[in-house]
Amino acid sequence: MADGASGDCIRVLIVDDHQMIRDGIAALVDREAGMVVIGEAATGEEAIELFGSLRPDVTLMDVQMPGIGGIAAVETICRRSPKARIVILTTYPGDAQAVRAIRAGASGYLLKTCIRRDLLDAIRAVHAGRQAMSPDVAHALAAHMLDDHLTEREISVLRLVAEGHPNKQIAWRLDLSADTVKAHLKSAFAKLGVDDRTHAVTIARRRGFIEP
């Protein structure tokens, strides 16, 4: 990792809570002519701080980290620096999570399984002002483009369903009536194309509405 770079070198900040992943990405980037890693962060908080001090050309941001998650960190960084160029790195190809990342300001969304093949091209693309997205994610977005997205309340209900809570406990935790919880579940089932709680949670996780 270098402290700085000259000329037209693309300066990269890596954000991931796993040291081995950071090391692997750093080795890949630093071997490439015209790119240099200028910093690493393990949390969203560190990412926000380092972005402010280092001003990288491209930031590679993990989604799931302790404390502030990747998408929240992207939102904060892009609010402060609207021209920030950030590529989300994730294990999950869900369309809902990709939509949240793009709305937060991310320029790219890349599956970690594609890092060796696609990362360097993604860095060049977003640095040039274009978007970069893994084919699987792009396909998921296209497949669900016209779907009704779950509301925040429906997502909150499904999170508690995924944790094993019955309707009465969900109603108590969210300060709702049991009938309102049932109505939210019925609406979520229709949007997800399922008939029961188990399948609703499975599809919601697969698409990225709730965390795996």
Helix (H) / strand (E) element for 107: namely: none
Residue 104, pLDDT score: 92
Q: What is the pLDDT of residue 92?
A: 79
List the chain domain ranges: 10-143, 152-207
Residue 9: Cβ within 10 Å count: 15
The whole-number pLDDT of residue 4 equals: 45
Q: What is the pLDDT of residues 18-62, one digit of tens each?
A: 999 999 999 999 999 999 999 999 999 999 999 999 999 999 999
> For position 122, what pLDDT does the model report?
94
Q: Where are the alpha helices (DSSP H) in 68-166?
A: 70-80, 95-104, 115-127, 135-143, 152-162
Residue entry with tokens 């609207």: 82
Q: Are 33 and 59 in contact (CB under 8 A)?
A: no
Written as tens digits, the pLDDT of the chain (212 aa) is 554 444 589 999 999 999 999 999 999 999 999 999 999 999 999 999 999 999 999 999 999 888 899 999 999 999 999 999 999 998 877 788 888 889 899 999 999 988 888 999 999 999 999 999 888 888 777 767 667 788 889 999 999 999 999 999 999 999 999 999 999 999 999 988 899 999 999 988 888 888 77
Domain covering 10-143 in this structure, CATH number: 3.40.50.2300
* CA gap 140, 101 in Å, rounded: 14
- Full-model pTM: 0.74
Topology of the domain covering 152-207: Arc Repressor Mutant, subunit A (1.10.10)
How many Å apart are CA 125 and CA 123, to the nearest integer?
5
- How far is it, in rounded angstroms, from Cα 124 to Cα 32? 11
